[in-house]
Amino acid sequence: MPPEVRRAFLWIILAVTLGAVVWASFFESLPPADFAIQNGTDVKTLDPARATGNVEGRLLFALFEGLLRMMPEGPPDPETGVQPMSPQAAMAESFDISDDGTTYTFHLREGATWSNGDPVTAEDFAWSWQRMLHPETACEYVLHLYHLPYAEQYNRGLVAVGDKVEVELWDRPGETPEGESNGQPFPRGTVRYGVLEEIAEAELSEEETVGLDASQIAALRDERRRYRVKVVAEEADGTIDWEADGRSQWFAQDPRGDPAVNRAHHVLVAFDRLGALETPDPQTFVVQLKNATPYFPNVVAFYALYPVNRRCVEEHGSPMWTKAGNIVTNGPYRLDFRRLRDRLRVQKNPDYWNA
């Protein structure tokens, strides 16, 4: 072997060794935790509306809290050792159910706060549940909210002529009428309300569909579909007179340069204005169901329905709002740090209501 090759080989070995030492320095030993769990794999997300499994659930139950929480009830079974669980008071200290079983009124705790000091309010739950339902959130457990009127239509983008709808304009932060989407559904663009008067399906040419599969063609039709909406004014108190005189306007995701058509992200049923969720005051959250659902308290205790902090989500965007240093939570623990494919560490939340 020539001397030059041997010297080059030695330099490579030295560089690899130094690189290994530097890499190892990023994983210096940590003080032992009071309690450690081998989770088996890295969590995919810390977003309650995006998580799908037990691995994520363990962390979400620690970091966040819903209206109710599944907690032990009674002693363990003497034969199996299994301890029964039931949905119990959490962010809501109590709740009432109407005689027909379709209306739940949750009474939130006074003084409950997020980790950034914001109060936890009924509006946090209304906003988070609608975010869970929003088509761009792509929540896999969204069927849990299909018990609410108009929830399925909103989530699936199903509208018909005569429906009361919302129109989200193409003006999210950083967007221009001719530009691309900013990729962040929250904060949303300007939302207008009105009554859907007409739907015009797109006619696609053979050239436009060459090489596309059925799902791609369907997506293209969705982009080109046009909606004529009688847009009505929103009152100062947030109410809407759907019967009021309004201005008919056309909307589409892709107006194809037609100045008579306004560009919009979505035309969806006006879920938040049709009575499914009401927030008469900061400590009262009223949920209307389509039918009596005796197990609904168990649904409410599931992590997918836990609230997220709107200010945090809108400021940092997804998924950066879940990053340590950004994330705002309301559970018994706070996220201290996270090392991808290594570990997470949480610390006791001294401001938790049941600390």
pLDDT tens-place string over residues 159-209: 999 999 999 999 999 999 999 999 999 999 999 999 999 999 988 888 888
Burial of 303 (0-12, 13-18, 19+ CB in 10 A): buried
**Other Cβ atoms within 10 Å of 280 Cβ, number:** 10
pLDDT of residue 30: 79
Give 284's strand partners: 107, 281
pLDDT of residue 26: 58
pTM for the full model?
A: 0.90
| CB 232 within 8 Å of CB 193 | yes
Q: Apex CA 44: angle with CA 41 and CA 45, to 5°?
A: 135
Give the β-pairing of 164-169 and 191-200: antiparallel
Domains and CATH numbers, the chain: 54-73+84-148+275-348 (3.90.76.10), 157-203+215-270 (no CATH)
pLDDT of residue 31: 87
| CB 172 within 8 Å of CB 188 | yes
% the chain with pLDDT above 70: 95
Q: Any residues with CB less than 8 A from the CB of 298 and at least 6 apart, and which?
A: 70, 87
pLDDT of residue 23: 58
Q: Any residues with CB less than 8 A from the CB of 178 and at least 6 apart, and which?
A: none
| CB 282 within 8 Å of CB 121 | yes
Helix (H) / strand (E) element for 151: namely helix 151-156
pLDDT of residue 341: 83
Paired tokens of 324:
């340590």
- Concatenating the DSSP letter of every residue in 163-206 gives -EEEEEES-STT--TTS---S--SS---EEEEEEEEEE-----H
How many Å apart are CA 282 and CA 108, to the nearest integer?
A: 8
pLDDT of residue 28: 59
Residues with pLDDT less than 70, the chain:
1-6, 19-28
How many Å apart are CA 314 and CA 131, to the nearest integer?
A: 11
Edge-to-edge strands of the sheet including 277-281?
Answer: 92-97, 103-108, 284-288, 277-281
